[in-house]
Structure 1
């Protein structure tokens, strides 16, 4: 049975608000949670970028939920440090953390000043980092000199069961590659379910049969359609681009410039926007039918307490 979770968007909201809201999410019946790992926000209107690894300790202590987060090793994070972060949380909160790892975005990783290569080279760097992290979790002393360098690193605080490594992909090509090495897949669900189905199918074809599939569903819900669309556009209009643009823009201001001609109707390309809770339940069920084991719901608007109460009371029971 598909489990439904609540997404904590650190690039939109303050860490204190997100901590209160994830506790409420658990109370109203959400089964999992995810949290974004950003250094910069998508635009300066939300203007937040809490450090997820500090926040996760507080959130895992205050709830019993399992957590997932997507990070990009090899740039902003050395893989040994990211492995240490995951190991510590997994030792304290056994089997509640799955670490999703991806090739990254310049928006967040560019702060180190390292060269930003093309997708194939970023994938190769990611794969090296995953091997290093798994070796550290296994208790090995790791020396590695390749795209990243590690010199006699060993983790002394390790969990009995290391975190699952979930590969991040937003295209069938990357999903097929992820299936060959990851313990699971995380992707984005927006718009019609057919696109999600193609990504899941490619992951299975690439070696992902029997492995968990996670999807983050972008939604916008509220009682008034016009106000809902205006809020969603202000919050998430800079994150509706297709192709390579989201991975290569450098600053929040550049995203704002690129989104100058995005309009409220464009939200429907990647977000389920509706005042109708029944429609949201129907769309989430269609995503689950694509073979998804966990769907994390990202409410892009600002009305999170009302959203959590409404979905806990009316939507989650329809999906159970």
Structure 2
């Protein structure tokens, strides 16, 4: 059975409101939760970016479902710091925390003042960070000198079992690269052909563990309202792919976004009919172990009410 999760978007909601959202998400029937980890929002209209790791402790303490985070080690976070954070959460909440590691975006990482590396360098750094984190979480003392430097580090507060270190990948190329070390994969998209290609690339390269999918959707009372919410809150989805990881400020994403209706619908499931929206989600999520729903519109309370009454029951029949 496919697990259905709720995505908590730190770019769009204040941490206190997100905390109430995930409590309500569990109440209406979501099986699990995931969240983003941003230093800045994609767009000025989104207007938030709380510190995910503070929030995770509170969210795990006020719910009983598993909660994961997509995060980027290597620049804004040293891998020893992320390993310590992950170990602490897993020790307090055994079996309920996971982290998906990605190579990051300049939007969040440029703040360190370190030059933003090429994609090839970021991929090498991600592998090095994942290796360091896994060794630390297994109780080893670690010293390395490579894409990241670590001097005689170890973790003193370890969980009974290390939390899963999954990988975040958008393209089949990246999915292939992360397959040797990842405890599962998370990707994003609403197009069944694209999500299948990334999923299969991971498995073909020997990738193990669960396959997770995040889907952006805009479910509102009218089709016009759903399109308007997508346009206002998630226009960065229409920025040319080659720029997504390179731009540094929300204003840059606004400059390069091309939010035509066709472009928005390529990346976001948009509509007012819960049954039709559920059908598109189910088509994209076929073959995945879990699908996480991200409502891009600002009214999460109304969305969660519709999830309880319409969307979740429809999805459970289809998945």
- Under TM normalisation by the shorter chain, which class is it? over 0.9
The residue aligned with 2:196 is: 197
Deviation at 1:288, TM superposition (A): 2.7
Quick check: 232-241 or 158-167, which moved more?
Answer: 232-241
Contact 1:165 1:184 in 2 (8 A): yes
The residue aligned with 2:313 is: 317
Structure 1, unpaired ranges of 5+: none
Decide which of 277, 289, 293 is 1:293's aligned counterpart: 289
Deviation at 1:243, TM superposition (A): 2.2
Decide which of 208, 211, 214 is 1:213's aligned counterpart: 211
Name the SS of the counterpart of 1:4 in structure 2.
strand
Residue 25 of structure 2 corresponds to residue 25 of structure 1: yes
Contact 1:89 1:97 in 2 (8 A): yes
Deviation at 1:319, TM superposition (A): 2.7
Name the SS of the counterpart of 2:206 in structure 1.
helix
The residue aligned with 2:235 is: 237
Could you report, residue by residue, the CA deviation over 1:96-123 in whole angstroms, capped at 9, with x for unpaired residues? 1111000000000111111212111101
Structure 2, unpaired ranges of 5+: none
Residue 129 of structure 2 corresponds to residue 129 of structure 1: yes
Number of residue pairs aligned between Structure 1 and Structure 2: 316
Q: Following superposition of structure 1 onto structure 2, how do residues 1-320 of structure 1 map, counting pairs within 5 Å?
A: 1-190=1-190, 192-208=191-207, 210-259=208-257, 261-289=258-286, 291-320=287-316
Could you report, residue by residue, the CA deviation over 1:197-234 in whole angstroms, capped at 9, with x for unpaired residues? 111111110112x5210110111001022122112211
TM-score (norm 1): 0.96
Contact 1:68 1:97 in 2 (8 A): yes
Distance 1:283 1:92 in 2: 37
Distance 1:262 1:198 in 2: 25
TM-score (norm 2): 0.97
Contact 1:136 1:154 in 2 (8 A): yes
Deviation at 1:181, TM superposition (A): 1.6
Could you report, residue by residue, the CA deviation over 1:133-181 in whole angstroms, capped at 9, with x for unpaired residues? 1111111111111111111111000111111111111001111122222
Distance 2:229 2:16 in 1: 21
Deviation at 1:45, TM superposition (A): 1.2
Tell me which stretches of 4 or more aligned residues in structure 1 moved more than 6 Å: none
Quick check: 111-120 or 267-276, which moved more?
Answer: 111-120
